[in-house]
Each structure stands twice: as C-alpha cells, then as structure tokens.
Amino acid sequence: MDFDNIRIVLVNTSHPGNIGGAARAMKNMGLSRLVLVAPRQYPDERAIWRAAGALDVLEQAEVVASLEEAIADCQFVVGTSARGRRIPWPVLDGRRCAEQVAQRSSREQVAVLFGREDRGLTNDELQLCNLHLHVPTNPDYSSLNLAMAVQIVCYELRMLQVAGELPEQPEDQWDAPFATRENMERFYTHLEETLVAIGFLDPAAPRQLMTRLRRLYGRVRLDEMELNILRGILTETLKQTPRDKS
C-alpha cells in the first residue's frame, strides 16, 4: 500500500468546517492528499479552526473545478454511497473496500470520493466509480457527518498499514507476569478466610460464593502485582476484624 497514491476527494462541500475536519481525520491516520472539487466556501477560517494540527494537509490541498479533473489520472475510483441504486453497482463496506484500495494503491492512482453533506454524490458521479463504498450505519439514524465518514475510511486504511506492527494479544506487552496457579490458590484461601471473618460468607451455608468468585477472578486473569495488592487488602481487612476470644 502506498498512501501517496491515495487521494481523498471532497465534492462540492458546503461547510468549510467539514473540510478542516476531514483534513484532521486524514492526518490522524497518515494520509495527506486532499482534493476539493468546487467547494462552496474555501479558503475559510472555519476550515483552519477545524483542521487544528493538520494545516499542512489544507495548505497542500488541490482545488479543482470538476470531478472529472480531480480523478483524470486515477485508475481506480471509489465513491461513498448511503443508499441503494436503481442499477446495482459493486459495493463493499468500509473495511473490505479499504483492502481493495490498499492493494491497488501499490501500483495505481486511487481516489475515494465523498459527496455533499445534504445529498452525497449524484448518480452521474457514482457512475464514474469502479466501486461503491457503503458504511452500514444504524438504519434508524444513518446520517454521518462528512468528517466522520472520512475518518472511518482513513482508519480502515491505517489499520491495514500497521497490521504487522500491532501485538497479537494486548497481553504480549504486559508489565508484570500473570499469577501462577499456586499463588491463585493461596489467594482463594486467603479470600475465603477473610470473607468468613467479616461475616460475608457463612461456612455452614456457603452456597456457590467461592465458585463464583473463582470464576470472576479466573476471567480477569490477575498478574502478580495485582494479586499482591489484593492480598494486602485482605491482610489489612483481617487486622481490623474482631477475633473471637472465647
């Protein structure tokens, strides 16, 4: 995948703040090529405010008069679409579409098009695309802010870019070894003793309390440091518990 070969194209954007928000979303995920097709208000201070630390993306943005000009040198074009069309077109969700974009960007110029805030891309504009991208939002509230839509697509591309750098499991970088079975059994004995001492557990009618607590802590997977903290709490609790001197 080559991010330099991927351009985000905003068509006839009406609110300049959305341009700045899109630029910020792009830079968050490592993309920098922004093309603006006949924006209604641009340049504009509101775009600068929303861009925050992504002013370089705005400054490098290309402004063109037509969509045809924006994608003239592209070999693969994706158009975002929020609704079905009378004539079916190849359509994928954001994740699977990102895979296509990533694959083709290694050797082709790729454009991802985003339409107007109020009505998206027209049918004629979508017919210029090789593939349509649809974000499967909640049907009861399917409207996406323009910058949010850009963020979703850029995020999926970023995840493909860094896939080999992410740990297979979050536990791979844990800061303490996980507790051994022997130490967990000592903890359960300590815990039961404390619960009996404070009157929370009745040895004559224990029910399934310790079984459920074992399931709870087994699901969490305590590390040795966490286990020592809990053992310390139990020790101090027992110190405060009146002992039967009879």
Mean pLDDT over 77-100 rounds to 82
CATH fold for the domain made of 3-165: Alpha/beta knot (3.40.1280)
pLDDT above 90 for 48: yes
| Residues constituting the chain | 246
DSSP conformational letter for 177:
P
pTM attached to this predicted model: 0.75
Asked if the peptide bond before residue 39 counts as cis, ω within 30 degrees of 0, the response is no
The better pLDDT of the pair 205, 84 is held by 205
Cα 204 vs. chain centroid, distance in angstroms? Answer: 50
Alpha-carbon distance of 171 to 203, in angstroms, equals 37
Q: For residue 172, what pLDDT is reported?
A: 62
Mean pLDDT over 89-96 rounds to 87
DSSP conformational letter for 3:
G
Mean pLDDT over 91-101 rounds to 93
Q: Which percentage of the chain shows pLDDT scores above 90?
A: 80
Q: For residue 88, what pLDDT is reported?
A: 62
Lowest mean pLDDT among 74-88, 146-160, 189-203: 74-88
Q: Which percentage of the chain shows pLDDT scores above 70?
A: 93
Q: For residue 178, what pLDDT is reported?
A: 92
Mean pLDDT of the chain: 92
Q: Where are the chain's structural domains?
A: 3-165, 171-239
Mean pLDDT over 51-66 rounds to 96
Mean pLDDT over 126-132 rounds to 93
Mean pLDDT over 126-149 rounds to 91
Which class in CATH covers the domain with range 171-239?
mainly alpha
Closest by alpha carbon to 31, among 124, 126, 114, 131? 114
**Sheet with strand 33-37: strands edge to edge:** 62-64, 33-37, 6-11, 110-114, 76-80, 131-133, 91-92
pLDDT interval class at 246 (50, 70, 90): very low
